[in-house]
Chains A and B, each alone.
Chain A
């Protein structure tokens, strides 16, 4: 065996060594780890801003943060959590790591472009951080005109540029995934043998490449309007501020599916593995991902019900919004049917997906409240909306991400974390999350508007409850970081297939070798063949 070959037979973590070998790597697994580290840092930054918001809202008076500072804090919380954590969270980490392995490929189709996407992300993030230190931004993460284009004297242009740059990173990831899926599947890996996580990544990639260019152009137009007074959004010179909302939500509603579809893919994998059953209605789950991706592009106007959007357009948007609930419900029912009479094992990943299902259900159903035109007039810009999208994006997106991280952590790192700690953290996050955001539904319905640092004293009870829940949530997240890092140092070595799961990634060593497979795998069975799956190896020494 030549030296070159033996290097590729080693664990991807081991060879070659050194910082440069990581920063110049073309290995999709190492790039996934780079992304994982970066998004964790940004999650911590965004979380710090969230903590500042919750601390301010403990008392009705605006005493901790001035109103100007508060505007900047919630804006940066949103911008960082959405563009620098949630959008790349599952696709760029778990997707990057798993997608080639799951289809039996050595890498993505364009390894260099994959690395480029990480560098673009880092540059975009740096530019946005520059905006933070250069006085911040106060427009809200939505950058609504005419405030952003005509009035705000904060670093809107810099922040918009950061978002613009980062957009290309997600376009490149989506493009890479699509080409890889079309061209690089192993022999026998037909479209209908693909794991559902891969189908979800495919649908997500479509949204990324079809939607992201629009938001990139839109924020660029805001920057151009500020600098050159083009008259795109400014009504005085022939523009229309509502046009911004159309363009922005054309991407930003589907962007929610960039966050939630991959999480749904994770849940599909985990539900089958943790109940040791063939997934119920494979093709329905696969096609519901595509249906969500496509219908998701037709509903953006439900964010414009109280703008000057035509009521007739609103009516159509409202009806189509109700339709998106159908494929989401298809998935939920199929997961339930998969678990029915399954041998459900209570491992820590199971806790996260149960958390996902409960929270996503509440988030999805309250979305229907908001999609109803009449009710939305009452609820627009209240804490009801804040609670709704946190249930979707954190309760759905982040819970799915953490479930997947706990499920594939042994594969990615070769180490087992402490199961009990994993379960306690999942419970803390679940109850902490509900304590934080459920009161916001109530207080929002009672009329508390979002984005103010002070509020009437009768809302204090709910806000104290919410802030207390946020403390629990913070402890839960911190715990995860601690026991996962601890597992890297002191954790027991992970077996190749700790959960007894099906799928190509569980047939190779943990952690995988640099080229993933020592010989080209040939796929002969359907996905989720749990009747012939190996027994779990967890705890087997």
Chain B
């Protein structure tokens, strides 16, 4: 199990390097982030053992990510709506 996850991580790392050389235009960041999130998920689920752990551990792990989403999400709520008013600087 651990070995196959490790191999998967190696494959994804190779893909990261390969994608870094391609120019996908606006997709550059989403693709890079997507691969990183997949790798992170594998590590959390298998190497950190969350997959086989108690519901409490899962809650803890998930809430950490939910809080990260709050931070990113609400901050983007600012950046994405700044231009709406049409006043320079606001």
Residues in chain A within 8 A of chain B (CB atoms): 182, 210, 214, 242-243, 246-247, 250, 297-298, 301, 304, 308-313, 316
B35 to chain A, nearest CB (A): 22
Question: Within the complex, which residue of A214, A250, A316 is in contact with B77, where a contact is CB–CB below 8 Å?
Answer: A316
Most chain A beta-carbon neighbours within 10 Å: one of B64, B70, B71: B71
Which chain A residue has the least Cβ–Cβ distance from B85?
A311
Instruction: Please give, as numbers and ranges, the residues of chain B lying within 8 Å of A243 by CB-CB distance.
Output: 75
The reply to whether B90 and A310 contact each other, CB–CB distance below 8 Å, is: yes
B89 within 8 A of A: yes
The reply to whether B70 and A246 contact each other, CB–CB distance below 8 Å, is: no
B84 within 8 A of A: yes
Question: Within the complex, which residue of A214, A246, A310 is in contact with B84, where a contact is CB–CB below 8 Å?
Answer: A310
B80 to chain A, nearest CB (A): 8
The reply to whether A210 and B64 contact each other, CB–CB distance below 8 Å, is: yes
9 contacts between A and B (CB under 8 A): A246-B78, A298-B70, A308-B82, A308-B89, A310-B80, A310-B82, A310-B90, A312-B81, A313-B81
B58-72 Cβ-contact flags toward A at 8 Å (1 or 0): 000001100100110
B77 to chain A, nearest CB (A): 5
Most chain A beta-carbon neighbours within 10 Å: one of B75, B85, B90: B75
Most chain A beta-carbon neighbours within 10 Å: one of B56, B64, B70, B78: B78
Instruction: Please give, as numbers and ranges, the residues of chain A lying within 8 Å of B89 by CB-CB distance.
Output: 308
Inter-chain CA distance A301–B70, complex, in Å, is 12
A191 to chain B, nearest CB (A): 13
The reply to whether B78 and A182 contact each other, CB–CB distance below 8 Å, is: no
Which chain A residue has the least Cβ–Cβ distance from B67?
A210
The reply to whether B70 and A313 contact each other, CB–CB distance below 8 Å, is: no
A294 to chain B, nearest CB (A): 10
Instruction: Please give, as numbers and ranges, the residues of chain B lying within 8 Å of A247 by CB-CB distance.
Output: 71
Instruction: Please give, as numbers and ranges, the residues of chain A lying within 8 Å of B70 by CB-CB distance.
Output: 297-298
B74 within 8 A of A: yes
The reply to whether A214 and B78 contact each other, CB–CB distance below 8 Å, is: no
The reply to whether B75 and A298 contact each other, CB–CB distance below 8 Å, is: no
Extra contacts, 13 of them, besides A214-B71, A250-B75, A312-B77 (Cβ < 8 A), are A210-B64, A242-B78, A246-B75, A297-B70, A298-B74, A301-B74, A309-B78, A310-B80, A310-B84, A310-B90, A312-B84, A313-B74, A316-B74
Instruction: Please give, as numbers and ranges, the residues of chain B lying within 8 Å of A210 by CB-CB distance.
Output: 63-64, 67
Instruction: Please give, as numbers and ranges, the residues of chain A lying within 8 Å of B67 by CB-CB distance.
Output: 210, 297
Which chain A residue has the least Cβ–Cβ distance from B66?
A210
Instruction: Please give, as numbers and ranges, the residues of chain B lying within 8 Å of A310 by CB-CB distance.
Output: 77-82, 84-85, 90
Instruction: Please give, as numbers and ranges, the residues of chain A lying within 8 Å of B56 by CB-CB distance.
Output: 182
A95 to chain B, nearest CB (A): 20
Task: State which size class the interface on B falls in.
Answer: 10 to 19
Main secondary structure of the interface of B (DSSP, over half): helix
Residues in chain B within 8 A of chain A (CB atoms): 56, 63-64, 67, 70-71, 74-75, 77-82, 84-85, 89-90
The reply to whether B64 and A301 contact each other, CB–CB distance below 8 Å, is: no
Inter-chain CA distance A242–B89, complex, in Å, is 11
Which chain A residue has the least Cβ–Cβ distance from B68?
A214
A115 to chain B, nearest CB (A): 24
CB-CB nearest 6 A-B residue pairs: A313-B78, A310-B81, A312-B81, A310-B82, A246-B75, A210-B67
A177 to chain B, nearest CB (A): 14
Which chain A residue has the least Cβ–Cβ distance from B79?
A310
Instruction: Please give, as numbers and ranges, the residues of chain B lying within 8 Å of A298 by CB-CB distance.
Output: 70, 74
Inter-chain CA distance A310–B89, complex, in Å, is 9
Instruction: Please give, as numbers and ranges, the residues of chain B lying within 8 Å of A250 by CB-CB distance.
Output: 71, 75
Inter-chain CA distance A242–B82, complex, in Å, is 12
Inter-chain CA distance A18–B77, complex, in Å, is 57
Inter-chain CA distance A246–B80, complex, in Å, is 14
Instruction: Please give, as numbers and ranges, the residues of chain A lying within 8 Å of B63 by CB-CB distance.
Output: 210
Inter-chain CA distance A304–B78, complex, in Å, is 10
Inter-chain CA distance A309–B87, complex, in Å, is 12
B74 to chain A, nearest CB (A): 7
Which chain A residue has the least Cβ–Cβ distance from B76?
A313
A221 to chain B, nearest CB (A): 14
A167 to chain B, nearest CB (A): 16
Instruction: Please give, as numbers and ranges, the residues of chain A lying within 8 Å of B85 by CB-CB distance.
Output: 310-311
B70 to chain A, nearest CB (A): 6
Instruction: Please give, as numbers and ranges, the residues of chain B lying within 8 Å of A313 by CB-CB distance.
Output: 74, 77-78, 81
Which chain B residue has the least Cβ–Cβ distance from A297?
B70
Inter-chain CA distance A250–B71, complex, in Å, is 7
Instruction: Please give, as numbers and ranges, the residues of chain B lying within 8 Å of A297 by CB-CB distance.
Output: 67, 70
Inter-chain CA distance A297–B72, complex, in Å, is 12
Which chain A residue has the least Cβ–Cβ distance from B70?
A297
Inter-chain CA distance A182–B59, complex, in Å, is 13
B83 to chain A, nearest CB (A): 8
Which chain B residue has the least Cβ–Cβ distance from A317?
B74
A467 to chain B, nearest CB (A): 39
The reply to whether B78 and A301 contact each other, CB–CB distance below 8 Å, is: yes
Instruction: Please give, as numbers and ranges, the residues of chain A lying within 8 Å of B80 by CB-CB distance.
Output: 310
Inter-chain CA distance A409–B68, complex, in Å, is 40
Instruction: Please give, as numbers and ranges, the residues of chain A lying within 8 Å of B82 by CB-CB distance.
Output: 308-310
